[in-house]
Chain A
Amino acid sequence: MGNFKKLELAVGAFVALGLAAFFMLAMKVSNIAELGEDKGYKVTARFENIGGLKVRAPVTLGGVRIGRVAGIDLDMRSYEAVVTLSIEPQYNQLPTDSNASILTSGVLGEQYVGLEPGGMDEYLMNGGSLKLTQSALVLEKLIGRMLTNAVSDDKPPAKTP
C-alpha cells in the first residue's frame, strides 16, 4: 500500500495547488482589499447630469482615491441626480464648500467623482452635502455649443451706417 501513500500525497498537493490558485485570484487579482469597508461616512452631492457615473466608481481628491460612490438616486421634485459618496473615515477634513465634479479617466472613459477642496473651516460630517457641483460633460452638448460658437464667430460684423 506504499503506492497509496504516494497517491494521497499527489492528491493533497493537487488540492493545495487548486486552493492556492483561488487564493491568488482572491488576493492579487480581485479587489478584496476594498471589501468589508464602508466604515466610511456618507455625503451627498446633487448633479444635473451624472453622465456614465456608476455605483462604486471612485471618489478622488487631488488624484488620490478617498472613497466610493455608494448610491445614485433621482430627486423627482427637483429633477436632480442625488449621488451618495462614501468617504473613508481617515479623510475627515473636507471643507464644506468643496467642489465635486464628474470627470472621465483616460480615453476609455470610466467616470469618477473628483473633489476640489474649498476654504471653509467647517468640515463635512456624515449626512452632510456638497453644495458646489459640476455635472458630467455630455459630448453632444459640447459639440452643439462649439458649433453655435463657431457660427456666431463667423457672422460678419454689424454694419454701421
Chain B
Amino acid sequence: MIDGLQRLGQLTLGWLNRLGRATLFLLRLLGAVATLGRRPGLVIKQLYSVGVLSLPIIAMSGLFVGMVLGLQGYANLVDFGATSSLGTVVALSLVRELGPVLAALLYAARAGSAVTAEIGLMKATEQLAAMQMMAVDPFARVFAPRFVAGFIAMPLLAGIFTAIGILGGYFVAVKQLGVDSGAFWSQMQAAVGLVDDVINGVVIKSVAFGWVANWIAVFEGYDAIPTSEGISLATTRTVVNTALVVLALDFVLTAIFFGV
C-alpha cells in the first residue's frame, strides 16, 4: 500500500518534471521562431514534408469518413422520413468534431511520428551536437521550422479533410442513395453557421490541435534517448500523447463552444 502510494508519487513527480521540461522547451522554441523570418526556405521544406506528404492519407480518410457518415446517417434518418436532413448531419458531424479531431490523429500518426523519429535520429547520430559545435542553434535550424510548418499545415489539412468528407457524404447520399440534392445542400446551409460551427469547430479546434501535436512531436524527438530503443519509444509516445491530449482538448473546446 505504502509502496503503491510512493510509486504514484514518483510517477506524478516524474510527469510534472517532464511537463516542465516540455514547457521550457516550448519557450525556447518560440524564441527561435522569431528568427525564421529570414529563412523561409526552411519552413517551406518542412511544409512539404509534413503537409504535402500527409495529403494522401488525409484526403482518402476524409473521403471514407464522409461516405460512412452519409450511409449511417441515411440508415438512421430514413425511418423518420427525415433523409432531407442528411446534409446537415454529415456537415455538422464533420465540421464540429470529426474533421479536426480525426485529422489531428492522422497527422500525429503520419507526420508527428516522422518528425519525432527524424529529430531523435539526428540526436542519436550526433548531428545536433555537431550543429551546436558549429555554433548553429538547432532550435532555429531544426526544431522551429518543423513546429511552424506543422502549425500551418494542421488547419489546412483539417479543412481539406472536412471538405472532402462533405463531398464524400454528398456522393453517397445524392448519387447512391437518392437523397434530393437541393435538400442536401440547402438544409446544410441553413443549419451550419459560419462562426458558430465552421470557425468555432474546424478552425479553432484545428489550430489548437496543431499547436499541441507539433509541440509534442518536436519535444519528444528532442528528449529522446539517443538509442534505437529510445527513438522507438519516443515515436510511440508522440502518437499516444498527441491522441490523448487532442481528445481531452476536444472535450474542453466542445464544452466551451457547443455546450448547452
Which residues of A does B touch, CB under 8 Å?
Answer: 4, 7-8, 10-11, 13-15, 17-22, 24-26, 28-33, 35, 58, 106-108
* B45-72 interface code vs A (CB 8 A; 1 in, 0 out): 1011001100100000000000000000
Smallest Cβ distance from B99 to chain A, in angstroms?
A: 9
B194 nearest in chain A by CB position: A30
Which residues of B does A touch, CB under 8 Å?
Answer: 41, 44-45, 47-48, 51-52, 55, 80-82, 84-85, 91, 95, 152-153, 155-157, 159-160, 162-164, 166, 185, 188-195, 197-198, 202-203
Pick from A4, A15, A31: contact of B156, CB below 8 A.
A15
Pick from A11, A20, A30, A35: contact of B47, CB below 8 A.
A11
**Given A15-B152, A29-B192: 7 more A-B contacts, CB < 8 Å:** A10-B52, A14-B52, A17-B55, A21-B156, A21-B160, A21-B163, A29-B198
Assess the A14–B156 pair: CB atoms within 8 A: yes
Assess the B51–A11 pair: CB atoms within 8 A: yes
A17 nearest in chain B by CB position: B160
Contacts of A8 in B (CB 8 A): 44
B152 nearest in chain A by CB position: A15
Contacts of A20 in B (CB 8 A): 163
Assess the B193–A25 pair: CB atoms within 8 A: no
| A interface SS class | helix
Q: Complex Cα distance A106/B159, Å?
A: 31
Assess the B194–A31 pair: CB atoms within 8 A: yes
Q: Complex Cα distance A22/B195, Å?
A: 13
Q: Complex Cα distance A15/B48, Å?
A: 10
Q: Complex Cα distance A116/B47, Å?
A: 58
Assess the B163–A24 pair: CB atoms within 8 A: yes
Assess the B162–A26 pair: CB atoms within 8 A: no
> Can you name 13 A-B pairs with beta carbons within 8 Å?
A7-B44, A10-B48, A19-B159, A22-B202, A29-B91, A29-B192, A30-B193, A30-B197, A31-B191, A33-B189, A106-B84, A108-B82, A108-B85
Smallest Cβ distance from B82 to chain A, in angstroms?
A: 5
Q: Complex Cα distance A24/B94, Å?
A: 14
Smallest Cβ distance from A133 to chain B, in angstroms?
A: 24
Q: Complex Cα distance A7/B45, Å?
A: 7
Pick from B84, B85, B160, B188: contact of A18, CB below 8 A.
B160
Q: Complex Cα distance A14/B85, Å?
A: 32
Contacts of A33 in B (CB 8 A): 189
Contacts of B80 in A (CB 8 A): 107-108
Pick from A7, A11, A13, A26: contact of B194, CB below 8 A.
A26
B170 nearest in chain A by CB position: A28
Smallest Cβ distance from B186 to chain A, in angstroms?
A: 10
A25 touching B159 in the complex, CB below 8 Å, given contacts A30-B189, A106-B82: yes
Smallest Cβ distance from A102 to chain B, in angstroms?
A: 18
Q: Complex Cα distance A30/B92, Å?
A: 10
B185 nearest in chain A by CB position: A28
Contacts of A14 in B (CB 8 A): 47-48, 51-52, 55, 153, 156
Contacts of B189 in A (CB 8 A): 28-31, 33
Assess the B48–A25 pair: CB atoms within 8 A: no
Contacts of A107 in B (CB 8 A): 80-82
Smallest Cβ distance from B198 to chain A, in angstroms?
A: 5
Smallest Cβ distance from B237 to chain A, in angstroms?
A: 28
